[in-house]
Amino acid sequence: MNLLRTKTVEQTIAETEEKDRKLKRNLSTWDLAVMGVAVAVGAGIFSVGAQAAAFHAGPAVIISFLIAGIVCGAAVMCYAEFASIVPVAGSAYTFTYTTVGELVAWIIGWDLILEMLMAGSVISKYWGVYLNDLLRLVGIPFNTNVHIGSFHIDIAPIIIVAFFTTLLVFGTKLSAQVDGALTILKIGIVAFVVIAGFFYVKASNFTPFVPPSQPAGSVEGAAQEGVMFQPLWQFITGMEPSIYGVPGILSGAALVFFAFIGFDVVATASEEAKDPHRTVPRGIFLGMCLVTVMYMLVAVVTTGMVSYKDLAKAQSPSLATAFELVGANWAAKLISLGIVIGLTTVVMVLLLGLTRIVFAMSRDGLLPRGLSKTGTHGTPARLQIIAGIVVAVVAAFFPIDVLSDMVNIGTLSAFLLVAISVPIMRRKRPELTRSFRMPGNPWIPLLIAAACLWLMINLSVLTWIRFIVWLVIGFAIYALYGYRHSRLGLHELQE
């Protein structure tokens, strides 16, 4: 068995011209930047930061965002280098297939499916939650939750997923235009809310900036107690589960990392970009800069308006909670509208990313080849519909907290492997043209990999157990189907 067989860059690019499996190139730098902002500015900017401040880091959540932003930004630079070499659908999966081999590519592809599937489900579920909040705030007596006896289902995720699945079937450019218009609107709402929030900021709320560490069970509403819910590194070292302090900043960074996911989705759209060697790196960087600035400003406003202790008393702390606590109830309505619009765009990009990962793996034969067929609109319509159905079902029936941690560990594992792959590709193929080069090779990519691993071990023991189960399922599928049907393997047999 040759588990580390690799595809050449030339072979990977040539396969993008395969009849009936060819994507249409029509995305510009701006389309890709907007796509990055669209997927990153959603529930995270309005709620995840407040939750991290309340139950993890206090005002030091600003540092948590900075740590997560630096790690994500550095990892994105690795993506940009690969995207400039191999502008093909599949993102980290495709990159690792050309460097460290098929088995690792399968693992990372399987991780990315986990990331996109869980993220799409989380966001579409959040969309339903905030839609109901908005309807309640404006006085409309309607709720999307349906109860039939003891059976409960939320129809909102099904509606939003069905809408964008339809748009994506008819073309990526059309979807990007709708996404762009909604993204500009939500950026305007974020900017207005941040400016308004600064009028309520009090310096006293930033003290203590780093709250003293205390047992996890001492704060009502914080994460559940017990071995399964403490960060992995605390479990390994035998440390008592705690929040706040330096450990809280680090666990907060692992939590808010969820807010930065999505820039790897931009890389999955490389095969649909015009002049991808230039547009993909530029689009990624432009989007990353915009998102980082917005997150830092929202973190300052949220923790400056009210004490982190008051946020911790709320059932589900968010930026809207902060405005309600200072008596600015008008802002809660505007923020709820911003969240609904914001999450709308995120759903679309994650649906796109999920299908492009499966599309690339299917085209390589690791998953059934029928999934990678494209239709008259230059999109994998059948695959898009299947993905939409799966995301809608998961969102309708599974709880949010279970899904969100799985997103983080899937993303971080992909970032880790891409960072390691940069120096490997530099050594294997130094002659390849790179319109962008990751600086500080090999040490900075290795430091990025170490930082991603550190954030991963700050996730809970239960999350790691679920992640290992997911990997075991993936190994079984690869052994029973993927290895035998791999086009690369079949080609080797023919030779």
Q: What is the pLDDT of residues 13-50, one digit of tens each?
A: 787 777 777 777 767 777 777 777 777 776 567 667 77
- Distance from C-alpha of 382 to C-alpha of 371, rounded to nearest angstrom: 7
Q: What is the mean pLDDT of residues 274-298?
A: 78
Q: What is the pLDDT of residues 437-487, one digit of tens each?
A: 888 888 988 998 888 888 788 777 888 888 899 899 999 999 999 888 888
For the chain, the C-alpha Rg in angstroms (whole number) is 22
Three-state SS at 420: helix
Q: What is the pLDDT of residues 47-84, one digit of tens each?
A: 677 777 877 778 888 888 888 878 777 777 787 787 77
Q: Is the pLDDT of residue 402 over 80?
A: no
Give the type of residue at 67: I
Q: Which of 183-197, 201-215, 371-385, 439-453 has the highest mean pLDDT?
A: 439-453
Q: Kindly report the average pLDDT of the chain as a whole number.
A: 78
Q: What is the pLDDT of residues 154-176, one digit of tens each?
A: 788 888 888 888 888 876 666 66
pLDDT of residue 492: 57
- Distance from C-alpha of 341 to C-alpha of 183, rounded to nearest angstrom: 8
List all residues 6 or more positions away from 255 whose beta carbon is below 8 Å from its beta carbon: 48, 51, 52, 56, 64, 408
More confident residue, 304 or 458: 304
pTM of the model: 0.76
List all residues 6 or more positions away from 149 whose beta carbon is below 8 Å from its beta carbon: none
Residue ranges per structural domain of the chain: 25-494
CATH topology of domain 25-494: Amino acid/polyamine transporter I (1.20.1740)
pLDDT confidence band for 287 (50 / 70 / 90)? confident
The percent of residues above 90 in pLDDT, for the chain, comes to 3
pLDDT of residue 481: 92
pLDDT confidence band for 292 (50 / 70 / 90)? confident
Which H or E element spans position 154? strand 151-154
- Distance from C-alpha of 93 to C-alpha of 112, rounded to nearest angstrom: 8
